[in-house]
A and B are shown apart, each in its own frame.
Chain A
Amino acid sequence: MNRLLIQKSLQESSWLLVACACLLFLFCWVNVWLLCQFDLQQIEPLLKQLKPFERFIPIPLEQLLTYSGSLSMVFHEPVLVTCVLVWSIARGSDAVSGEINRGTLEMLLAQPIGRLRWLACHTTVCTVGLALLCGLAWLGLACSIHTQSVRQEVAPTVDISLPLLPWSVPIRVGPAQQVETPLAMLVDSSRFIAPACNLFGMGFFVLGLSLFLSSCDRYRWRTLGIAIGTFVIQMLLRLLSKATDATAFFGYFTFLSAYQPDAMVHFARDNPAAAWWLLVPSDQRTLSWPYALGPLGMTLMLLVGGSLWIMLAAWRFRSRDIPAPL
């Protein structure tokens, strides 16, 4: 029975999944390729002009002059975030109010299927699909990192040892030359696994919220509206929390405070193991990572939040009356 229910859910979501998967993979690939076409040092003057707005991003602006820093911003790209949101909200909202809206829940539950079983099968497909999308986003980045190369200017130098001193001084001996360097030598693609997990956590939270709203409602359009509205409000709260010190407390009221993919890359630049810290010792906290929770802790917080929404959805769906088809 589970197989049949999963088959139905998969069939209904297959086109959306394929579209989002292709888009995410290609977008991440192209993003890296695009980055390789520019000399990052050339955008330094531009970044200097943006200094007053530095507080809106969790990493120092100078980090954007590095390839890993720039690539970490991919996880904030509207295309990528929208893809994940579209999947989470569209599929989450379909579980109950979508089926009621189409009138198909009546015929479905006329079969001896437990409501929780239906919700569990639907949630499983949504979650696996979400994991696949986040995995593909990372794969797109990783594949592109391993196949692209960047042009760097390297000047030939000779090291001259100083007499009586333990130092040597590099001396330029000719004009600078353009050298092709594989991007993989400059950026470690495994650094983006933790941000991809964080993206999954954010998507899972939204998925859980959408499932809950769907379990309470009978109109899908309303579920979609409330879910999107909630996300927009959460985004505004996040912006407010970043705007001034006086409004920083708004950060406690938005789950997006736990979505820090760029900061994760920056935080783990010297110590890759830090990307999987649950908690951060107080002496290790930096301006760009002032939180007690580590990157893994942040992701877990989103996963726990999403799970709580799903539990609430199950409770609501189980206890509610199913209205007749509209």
Chain B
Amino acid sequence: MWAVETQGLSKSYGDIHSLIDCDLQIAAGSVFGLLGPNGAGKTTLLRTLLGFLHPTRGSGSIAGFDILRDNLRARRQVAYLPGDARLMRSMRGDRLLKWFSGLHPYGSWDAAQEVAQQLDLELQRRVMFMSTGMRQKLALSIVLGCQAPVVMLDEPTANLDPNVRQTVLRLIGEIRSQGRTVILSSHIFGDIDETCDQVAILKSGELVEHVHMAELQHTHWVSAHVASGVSRSPQQWQELVDRQPLIVSHHRHRSAAHSERIELQLKGEPQQWFQWLSELQLTNMQIQRGGIRAIYERYHHPTL
């Protein structure tokens, strides 16, 4: 059984399609990343799963409970941190933690207090007197203190300083080690690279790429211009590519200035394919260790 599963999940507002035929299967005990620019459909996907939005078509389930027919039971399996978590302003931090932990069947006041302590949060203040970062920490304490099997985090490290951010990423790792599932929506490549097992990239409501992060660990991304004066036909280019067994993917673009730009994804270590690269007569070469950024930029900055 999948921790979260969707089939053709779609959400439209008239002619605006916020989510289009989203098929996802998220294994229990993994950290699953959702990546995409603003308006790509990440939050819509999470909010549809939670029943805040009624899907236009398609279906989904959380821990086996249908999100439409059995929404309340499905939500019992989830601890959710909204992208813009706003809390009752008149309540004090400790009271709020206690109140929320009483509302959720998996809520635990002790655990929430422990998380708050790890995030170095002062709980005696009223929410209205807390800074944005403190409010985010408080919301994180509520959500990460909950022992629900599925944890959905929408931009969890927004407004946090680097130390706290690192603590949050560590806590996400601890959740995974407990066999619980995390869905992490983020713009920050570092967060995704550090924590996720799988990543889905969304673009204009569509799920365009599903990446297993383990496969990225031993790859490199090369982007470069082809030296001026060098001209290859598509057939010649293909022959060059075919000679390199470590190549995973390749793209050629012609920029406005008529210079040719290539992007390559290569397995193994650089010394295994440096020789081959030198034969391509490239300039302005950039080599990046395999990370999600390069894949992301293929969809969201294809001309770079």
B184 → chain A, closest Cβ, in Å? 16
Q: Is A82 an interface residue (CB 8 A)?
A: no
Contact of A11 among B47, B76, B90, B139 (CB under 8 A): B90
Q: Is B298 an interface residue (CB 8 A)?
A: no
Inter-subunit contact B82/A110 (CB<8 Å): yes
B94 → chain A, closest Cβ, in Å? 15
Residues of B within 8 A of A114 (CB): 72
- On whether A1 and B103 interact (CB within 8 A), knowing A110-B50, A110-B80, A112-B75, the answer reads yes
Give CA–CA (A102, B43) in the complex, Å: 19
Inter-subunit contact B88/A8 (CB<8 Å): yes
Q: Is B274 an interface residue (CB 8 A)?
A: no
Contact of B82 among A4, A11, A106, A113 (CB under 8 A): A106
* 24 A-B contacts (beta carbon < 8 Å): A1-B102, A11-B91, A103-B84, A104-B87, A106-B82, A106-B84, A107-B86, A107-B100, A107-B139, A107-B142, A109-B50, A109-B52, A110-B80, A110-B82, A111-B75, A111-B100, A113-B103, A114-B72, A321-B53, A321-B54, A322-B53, A324-B43, A324-B82, A325-B84
Q: Is A62 an interface residue (CB 8 A)?
A: no
Report, as a range, how many residues of chain A touch the other chain.
Answer: 20 to 34
Q: Point out residues on A near B: beta carbons under 8 Å.
A: 1, 4, 7-8, 11-12, 102-104, 106-107, 109-114, 319, 321-322, 324-325
Contact of B84 among A4, A7, A113, A324 (CB under 8 A): A324
Closest to B106 in A: A112
> Which 4 pairs from chain A and chain B are nearest by CB?
A103-B86, A110-B80, A112-B76, A111-B103
Give CA–CA (A110, B80) in the complex, Å: 6
Q: Is B64 an interface residue (CB 8 A)?
A: no
| Chain B 86-106 per-residue mask, 1 if CB under 8 angstroms from chain A, else 0 | 111111000000011011110
Give CA–CA (A107, B82) in the complex, Å: 7
Closest to A4 in B: B102
Closest to A14 in B: B90
Interface centre among A107, A322, A324, A325, by most chain B C-beta atoms within 10 angstroms, is: A107
Contact of B47 among A7, A103, A324 (CB under 8 A): A324
Interface centre among B80, B82, B102, by most chain A C-beta atoms within 10 angstroms, is: B82
A135 → chain B, closest Cβ, in Å? 27
Residues of A within 8 A of B139 (CB): 107
Give CA–CA (A7, B102) in the complex, Å: 12
Q: Is B83 an interface residue (CB 8 A)?
A: yes
Residues of B within 8 A of A324 (CB): 43, 47, 82-84
Give CA–CA (A27, B105) in the complex, Å: 46
Residues of A within 8 A of B224 (CB): none
Closest to B76 in A: A112
Inter-subunit contact B52/A322 (CB<8 Å): yes
Closest to B47 in A: A324
Inter-subunit contact A112/B72 (CB<8 Å): yes
Inter-subunit contact B87/A321 (CB<8 Å): no
